[in-house]
Amino acid sequence: MENELQKKLDKLLNAYSHQYDIERDVKVEGGSFPATATFYLRDENYLISKKHVLNAVENFDYTYFYVTGHLDAATLRQQIDLTMKIGSARIKPHKEHMSSFVTLVILADTIDEEAKQIIRKTKFQKYFKLALHGWMEYHIAATECSTNSFLSNPAGKGVKKILEQNLGSR
């Protein structure tokens, strides 16, 4: 079953690689991930030339992939805390920062019922300087390979859709 999860991860990373910078076998303080993906977008409006920037906005997405045979509630809480900590540390709010997303994508053979409830109910959003320096939101989405089911928190519906499009049965 591990080989199947690895194939699914590779397929998912291939889909992400079109817009994200992929890094494999990432070691972080407190754990490791088989892969991470980073998205950065800067949009600028100019007056006459590029020397005269009227305004600019920056968007970020820091995605962490976690693969396991069985996901229980304790492990899930540990992964949420870890990704929240390291993802939040990467966010540097400033006047051109619009939004940042910290995302946890889970591929598991089986997921406990309690862990499924935690995934559905996890919410975190933070505004920087009354949103004048942007905001951040936590996304989480998972697939249970044994039942081919997908779930997410309300903020992670877009990530869930990516999982369904790339890993769903056709």
Q: Quote the pTM value.
A: 0.92
In this prediction, residue 46 carries a pLDDT of 82
Measure the CA–CA gap between 14 and 12, rounded to whole angstroms.
5
Q: How far is CA 5 from the centre of its chain?
A: 18
Q: In the chain, how many domains are there?
A: 1
- Higher-confidence residue: 53 or 59? 59
Please tell me whether residue 67 adopts helix, strand or coil conformation: strand
| CA terminus-to-terminus distance, the chain | 20
> Is 1 a residue whose pLDDT tops 60?
no
Q: What's the pLDDT band for 90 if we cut at 50, 70, 90? A: very high
The range of the structural domain enclosing residue 127 comes to 2-167
- The mean per-residue pLDDT over the stretch 55-63 comes to 93
pLDDT digit string (tens) for 104-156? 999 999 999 999 999 999 999 999 998 889 999 999 999 999 899 999 999 99
Measure the CA–CA gap between 82 and 30, rounded to whole angstroms.
7
Both structure tokens of 166: 């790339």
Q: What are phi and psi of 27, to 5 degrees?
A: -100, 130
